[in-house]
């Protein structure tokens, strides 16, 4: 078991596994039908070069790059955990830039986020990451949106053929020859002067909107 853990942490092995993972995702995309609904919401921000924060559950990371119809890259907030590092390696094969975070000093990790948003870039955050609870919004995304006055846009994904891993987030592995669907939600704007109680309300609102998007995506994927 110790040897297996050491092997997985090996840089060359991680690079190889990331390449294999990326090729699998590309095969899924090539063999599947992918539809994107309510694209008008992000298009407004893309066309006017306005930043926003893309919100999606951690379990739906695998196919996320295929919701993106802008030449600008998504800057994904990645944890320092092993799964976060692996996800960053896979993301290099797509339109995903990695923003590493420090679990020891969150004030430092937020600096590049604020800089990116100030320069009209796009940030992707899994509000239940990096370790859950599953599909529960943490404070971070709401506080970032509040501090920067940048809206949050939720998105949901579903596929007709998939496997759920036995991980904390029930990570979704989409299978080849699937019918896949993304559904964008409406922008959520967090007032700069909202108090702690209002922050809790916005956390709940984002949870509801994310799950609504997923339910709509399920209908599209299984139609």
Is residue 103 pLDDT above 70, yes or no?
Answer: no
Fold of 2-221: Glycerol-3-phosphate (1)-acyltransferase (3.40.1130)
The pLDDT, as a whole number, for residue 109 is 64
In the chain, where the domains are located: 2-221
Dump pLDDT digits (tens) for 3-36: 555 655 667 888 899 999 999 999 999 999 999 9
Model confidence band, residue 98 (pLDDT cutoffs 50, 70, 90)? confident
The pLDDT, as a whole number, for residue 106 is 46
Burial 94-128 (b: 16+ CB within 10 A, else e): bbbbbbebeeeeeeebbebbeebbeeebbbbbbbb
Query: CB–CB of 182/54 below 8 Å?
Result: no
Angle at CA of residue 166, ends 75 and 132, nearest 5°: 45
The pLDDT, as a whole number, for residue 108 is 46
Provide the 3-class DSSP secondary structure of residue 186. coil
What is the percent of the chain with per-residue pLDDT over 70, rounded to a whole number?
Answer: 88
Q: What is the pTM of this model?
A: 0.91
The pLDDT, as a whole number, for residue 165 is 95
Query: CB–CB of 37/220 below 8 Å?
Result: yes
Average pLDDT rounded to a whole number, residues 185-211: 96
Dump pLDDT digits (tens) for 147-175: 999 999 999 999 999 999 999 999 999 99
**Residue 69, phi then psi, degrees to nearest 5:** -115, 35
Mean pLDDT computed over every residue of the chain: 89
Dump pLDDT digits (tens) for 129-142: 777 899 999 999 99
């Amino acid at each position: 078991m110790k040897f297996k853990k050491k092997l997985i942490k090996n840089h060359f092995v991680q690079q190889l596994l990331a390449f294999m993972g990326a090729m699998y995702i590309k095969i899924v995309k090539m063999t599947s039908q992918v539809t994107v609904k309510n694209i008008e919401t992000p298009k407004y921000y893309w066309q006017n070069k306005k930043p926003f924060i893309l919100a999606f559950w951690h379990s739906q990371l695998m196919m996320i790059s295929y919701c993106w119809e802008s030449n600008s890259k998504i800057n994904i907030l990645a944890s320092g955990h092993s799964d976060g590092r692996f996800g960053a390696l896979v993301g290099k094969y797509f339109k995903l830039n990695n923003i590493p975070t420090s679990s020891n000093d969150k004030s430092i990790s937020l600096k590049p986020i604020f800089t990116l948003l100030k320069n009209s870039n796009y940030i992707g955050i899994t509000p239940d990451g990096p370790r859950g609870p599953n599909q529960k919004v943490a404070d971070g995304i709401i506080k970032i949106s509040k501090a920067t006055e940048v809206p949050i846009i939720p998105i949901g994904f579903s596929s007709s053929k998939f496997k759920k891993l036995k991980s904390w987030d029930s990570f979704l592995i989409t299978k080849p020859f699937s019918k896949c669907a993304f559904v964008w939600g409406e922008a959520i704007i967090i007032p700069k002067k909202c108090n702690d109680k209002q922050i809790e309300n916005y956390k709940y609102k984002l949870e509801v909107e994310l799950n609504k998007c997923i339910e709509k995506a399920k209908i599209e994927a299984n139609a």
